[in-house]
Amino acid sequence: MAMTMTGDVTLPAHRPKVWALLNDPEVLKACIPGCESLEKTGDNGFAAVVKTKIGPVSTTFRGKVELSDLAPLVGYTIKGDGEGGIAGFAKGGAKVSLADAPGGTLLHYDVEAHVGGKIAQLGARLIDGVAKNMADKFFANFAAIAAASAAPAGAAESAAPSMAAAAPVVESPAPARATPPAAPARPAPQAIPTKTSWFRRIWEWLMSLWR
């Protein structure tokens, strides 16, 4: 059973940033609903493990993803296929293109996928609904990451004036006042030597009594 899907999403980041995120395995892993691992196997290839539920069927798809037709800052084609055991299989691709947009980047995608096995028996309406829901979650996650990656530069610029205003004003220390030189210490008054000792005075007084 085949299904197609197309759509546009405006991302709050410039094209170089969006392009870098589209080629980052960790970002793609964080954005794909149910993705348990996404490991690089080559220059443009990845091995993926995705756990998902379609109606009453829960399964884990293990497969590969490959990027082709890479045009830096413009777009690429992503193709993949996965096996879900008794649940069936899924394979398909998407063409992604980027263009400048007010306030960021416009990402356009065209998806074509094929599913077979038990999941194909669930009906086109159910599968289309699940596929659309997964796409919505992917781009919502991707937009959040793009916004977060673009925020620090702008936040830092806007925060600079407020930080400058809030910075404590450091006053220059008042010039130290010159301390006047200490007056030279006056020598302690020395005892004036007594010309006549007390013993001599008493002696003279006693001698005068005998005269």
- At a CB cut-off of 8 Å and minimum separation 6, what does 135 contact? 5, 7, 109, 111
Pair 139, 22: CB distance under 8 Å: no
The mean predicted confidence, pLDDT, of the chain is: 76
172 CB neighbour count, 10 Å cutoff? 5
CA 152 – CA 161 distance, rounded (Å): 15
Average pLDDT value for residue range 152-174? 38
pLDDT at position 68 is 94
Domain ranges of the chain: 2-154
- What residues contact residue 27 under an 8 Å CB cut-off, 6+ apart? 21, 142, 145
Chain centre to alpha carbon of residue 37: 22
| Rounded CA separation 149/16 (Å) | 12
Please tell me the pTM assigned to this model.
Answer: 0.66
| Identity of the amino acid at 26 | E
pLDDT band at 155 (very low <50, low <70, confident <90, very high): very low
Phi, psi for 173 (deg, rounded to 5): -65, 140
What pLDDT score was predicted for residue 71? 96
Q: What are the pLDDT digits (tens) for 104-143?
A: 999 999 988 888 888 888 877 888 888 888 888 888 899 8
139 to 98, 106, 130, 161, 183: CA distances (angstroms): 14, 12, 14, 34, 85
Give the pLDDT confidence score for residue 37 in this predicted structure: 92
The residue with tokens 């007056």 is 183
pLDDT tops 80 at residue 167: no
pLDDT reported for residue 24:
92
Element (H, E) at 93: strand 89-101
CATH superfamily of 2-154: START domain (3.30.530.20)
DSSP-assigned letters across all residues of 164-182: HHHSPP-PPPPPPPPPPPP
Lowest mean pLDDT among 138-152, 160-174, 196-210: 160-174
